[in-house]
Amino acid sequence: MNLGFFASHGGSNMQALIDATKRGELEARPALLISNNRNSQATVRAQQEGMPFLVMNSVTHPDFEALDQAMLDALREHQVDLIILAGYMKMIGPKVLEAYDNRILNIHPALLPKFGGHGMFGQHVHKAVLEAGETVTGVTIHLVNSEYDEGRIIAQAEVPVMPGDTVESLAARVLKKEHEFFAKTLQDVASGKLEL
């Protein structure tokens, strides 16, 4: 199973999955990173891992349709089977969505459908969870479609909200769970235990 990653910033989930493949916990091959940000930590990680990466955005491809097609061409060239969104902050174009229907996965730092939708990413999610007085949050792995956070849910894991939690402490606990849970869920896909 060849994995293609889309990342805008840190790419820590991508790194966690690469590390899981190295440990033999995930039967997959990191095949390509596409980033919209040439200064992202994700591109540095890809370089360090010897994984091919491309910077593709509105600067490299001012026309959105051309960008969508170029991304699709790159994914096909690197024989990507499954696309993993690892903190990718842009919409996926219709050509990539259609070609990879039911093969694009995102991880969200809350239990969808709660705390999802446009603008709900990163610290915004954890802040909303704390403000709502939730006692449990978690991570959701879902398929990606043309609407933010509305694709079919594949797997979820709970994370407790502790008394006295700050946005930062909660974010750290959720991220740790993301790193473990994404690899486990993808291995279930690779082994045929979980069907997309």
Parse the chain into domains and list their residue ranges: 1-101, 108-177
* Residue environment code for 142-170, b if the CB has 16+ CB neighbours within 10 A, otherwise e: bbbeeebbebeebbbbebebeeebebeeb
| Binding-site residues from annotation | 11-13, 106
DSSP secondary structure code for residue 10 in this structure: -
Please compute the mean of the pLDDT values over residues 156-169 and round it to a whole number. 97
Q: Specify the fold of 1-101.
A: Rossmann fold (3.40.50)
- The reply to whether 108-177 shares the fold of 1-101 is yes
Instruction: Give me the residues paired with residue 6 across strands.
Output: 34, 85
Structure tokens at 38: 């040439």
Work out the average pLDDT over 14-22. Answer: 97
- What pLDDT, on the 0 to 100 scale, is given for residue 184? 96
Element (H, E) at 70: helix 64-77
The pLDDT assigned to 134 comes to 97
Give tens-digit pLDDT for 95-140.
Answer: 999 999 999 999 999 999 999 988 898 899 999 999 999 999 999 9
H/E run at residue 60 = none
Binding site for (6R)-10-formyltetrahydrofolate: what residues are annotated?
106
Residues annotated as part of the active site: 108
Cα 99 to Cα 113: distance, rounded to the nearest angstrom: 26
24 contact partners, CB below 8 Å, separation of at least 6: none
User: Is 80 exceeded by the pLDDT of residue 148?
Assistant: no
Quick one: pLDDT band at residue 83, thresholds 50, 70, 90?
Answer: very high
108-177 CATH choice from 3.40.50.170, 3.40.640.10, 2.60.40.3670, 3.30.930.10? 3.40.50.170
Prediction pTM value? 0.93
Q: Is the peptide bond before 62 cis (omega within 30 degrees of 0)?
A: no
Mean pLDDT of 168-192: 96
**150 confidence band (pLDDT: 50, 70, 90):** confident
d(CA 171, CA 35): 23
Q: Which two tokens stand for residue 52?
A: 């091919």
Average pLDDT over residues 12-36: 97
How many C-alpha atoms does 171 have within 13 Å on its Cβ side? 11
Q: Which of 73, 31, 72 is nearest to 53 (CA)?
A: 31
